[in-house]
Structure 1
Amino acid sequence: MDFGRVLTAMVTPFDSMGRLDLKKTEKLVTHLIDNGSEGLVLGGTTGESPTLTHDEKLQLFEYVVGLVDQEISVIGGAGYNDTSASAEFTKAAANTGLDGIMLVTPYYNKPNPAGLYYHFSTIARETTLPIMLYNIPGRSVINMPVDTTVELSKIDNIVSIKDASGDLHMMSDIIEQTSDDFSLYSGEDHLTLPSLAIGSHGVVSVASHIIGNQMQEMTQAYLEGEVTKAASLHRKWLPTMRACFMAPSPAPVKAALNYQGIDVGSVRGPLVDLSLEEFNQLKTILDT
């Protein structure tokens, strides 16, 4: 399953009361399609998944699937730290027309490798949709071992992994030890180009909200053998990539979108909006 090269981990737009705003969502999705996104990942970290209810996620999935009308791929985050709850929600999410499911490593309860295999394989049996694993030790505490990922990749509908470990050695081992039809996506914007160099398929990006076409240009330059150009673009846009994480995500990227006229509202607590000092720093980077 090829979800595309540049996927956007989409923010969830809220209205002034903090409720899911589908009108703002439509404008955001149009903006992302027009600016280089080949796929959208909904209800993930950047989408503030811990604060979204089941009903909000399902409503968001179904609405965006209808909006894009198969023009780009749509993946829905369905992972929880409860295997049974994840399996049940995955079945419900599959009915919204998604192209794939993303499942995060269980957070807080810290399963061992056997527990990780049990968790993901159990959920995989409950759907025929392609599954993207999501390894993000900075938020879930555990770092899924390479061996576990390799074993999971042998399950027919587990087709991909978003790796936000930041560990290029581990990413290299996953790419080397899995079949050619299993894809690895960088979950870190600043590692998009380095990960392509070791064989990743692309990126699940936050910065693509702001520099989607530029991320696409850099990726295509590398794939077409224009390595020097790709490296130059990487260096040029690295400050913007960093700026998207100057405060707990997605507060910076939501502020950047709002500043650029794409109204996505605020973040939900316990996250807070950027301070005035942070916002001024962000504006300086965006303006230059």
Structure 2
Amino acid sequence: MFAKTIGLIAAPHTPMDASGDVRLDRIDDQIDLLVSNGLAGAFVCGTTGEGPSLTTSERMAVAQRWAAAAPEGFRVIVHVGHQSLRDSRDLAAHAAGCGAFAIGSMPPTFFRALGTDDLADYLAHVAAAAPNLPFYYYHIPSMTGADVPMRDLLAATALRAPSLAGMKFTHQDIADFAACLALDDGRYDCLFGIDEMLLSAVAIGARGAVGTTYNFAAPLYGRLIDAFERGDIQTARACQQQSADMVAIGKRYGPFTAVSKAMMRILGLD
């Protein structure tokens, strides 16, 4: 067993040079920034980290650098989802070997699992490649097209994958998220994945979250959570609105992954 996540986990960008080559040397600076802002960990090589666009060897190198450079107690969750199940399993085994805290996986997006049981079977194969690491399902139907009720998927996957820890829930269906939080007396570590809706998740019991804007705006969300816990709902709402405005303005200029990279460059990280 492991302690559930309390706090914010960044979804970091993968640093690259102008030619698109990965800059492993910049990862240490990313970690320093996240630690200084009180982040609980990093979800590496996911959507923000452009994991699906990297080669398997690049993803392994990125995961290894994060795991090696992260301080004790900083949770490095490595996304291992891939179109190839064999590559996904190789990434999972590699993450275990290099000392990652956990692995996570979205499903394939081309030949898709068509239902809850098929998807649970697939996830069990991935999780089995790193049986001693906590396993998180990465629910992001806007990118994968896989949109089954997450409460049902957690229950089905738990029967097949003993290492199932929870999920990264990147979807607006707050009722489904609430059902996941309540399942099996709150057994699962359910990490909310929409930054501009964080207050809604915190209000129904979320303790952990994963997001892009936590890379550069973590203090804002820290104030949001602190205000909510003090019962200062007006301040919490104001912080959430500032978050929503920030994301909306950013999206005017293009895909948010690219826009958020520009924001990181302002902080001296690219």
Note the alpha carbon deviations across 1:31-85, whole angstroms, 9 max, x for none.
1221232111111000011221122111111212222232411111101233333
- Map residues 80-229 of structure 1 onto 2, 5 A cutoff: 80-112=82-114, 113-127=116-130, 128-146=132-150, 147-153=152-158, 155-229=161-235
Structure 1 position 224, deviation (Å) = 4.3
Give, as a single letter, the amino acid of the residue that structure 2 aligns with 1:237. S
Note the alpha carbon deviations across 1:134-179, whole angstroms, 9 max, x for none.
0111000111323122222454311111111211121122222244
Query: 2:36 — aligned with what?
Result: 34
Whole-Å separation in 1 of the counterparts to 2:178 and 2:203: 10
Query: 1:242 — aligned with what?
Result: 248
Query: 1:274 — aligned with what?
Result: none
Whole-Å separation in 1 of the counterparts to 2:170 and 2:40: 19
Whole-Å separation in 2 of the counterparts to 1:102 and 1:72: 16
SS of structure 2 residue aligned to 1:250? helix
Query: Is the Cα–Cα contact under 8 Å of residues 41 and 75 in structure 1 kept in the other structure?
Result: yes
Bigger drift between 224-233 and 56-65 goes to 224-233
Query: Is the Cα–Cα contact under 8 Å of residues 41 and 74 in structure 2 kept in the other structure?
Result: yes
Whole-Å separation in 2 of the counterparts to 1:35 and 1:62: 22
Query: Is the Cα–Cα contact under 8 Å of residues 136 and 166 in structure 2 kept in the other structure?
Result: yes
Task: Go from structure 1 to structure 2 and tell me whether the alpha carbon gap of 1:82 and 1:55 turns closer, same or farther (over 3 Å shift).
Answer: closer
Note the alpha carbon deviations across 1:88-128, whole angstroms, 9 max, x for none.
32112211110000111321222122210111112222221
Structure 1 runs of 4+ off > 6 angstroms?
none
The unaligned stretches of length 5 or more in structure 1 are 265-288
TM-score (norm 2): 0.90
Count of paired positions: 263
Which one has more relative contact order, counting CA pairs under 8 Å at least 6 apart?
1
Whole-Å separation in 2 of the counterparts to 1:90 and 1:245: 33
Identity, % of aligned positions:
21
The unaligned stretches of length 5 or more in structure 2 are none
What do you get for the CA RMSD once the two structures are aligned?
Answer: 1.9
2:54 aligned to 46, 52, 55, which one?
52
SS of structure 1 residue aligned to 2:171? coil
SS of structure 1 residue aligned to 2:94? helix
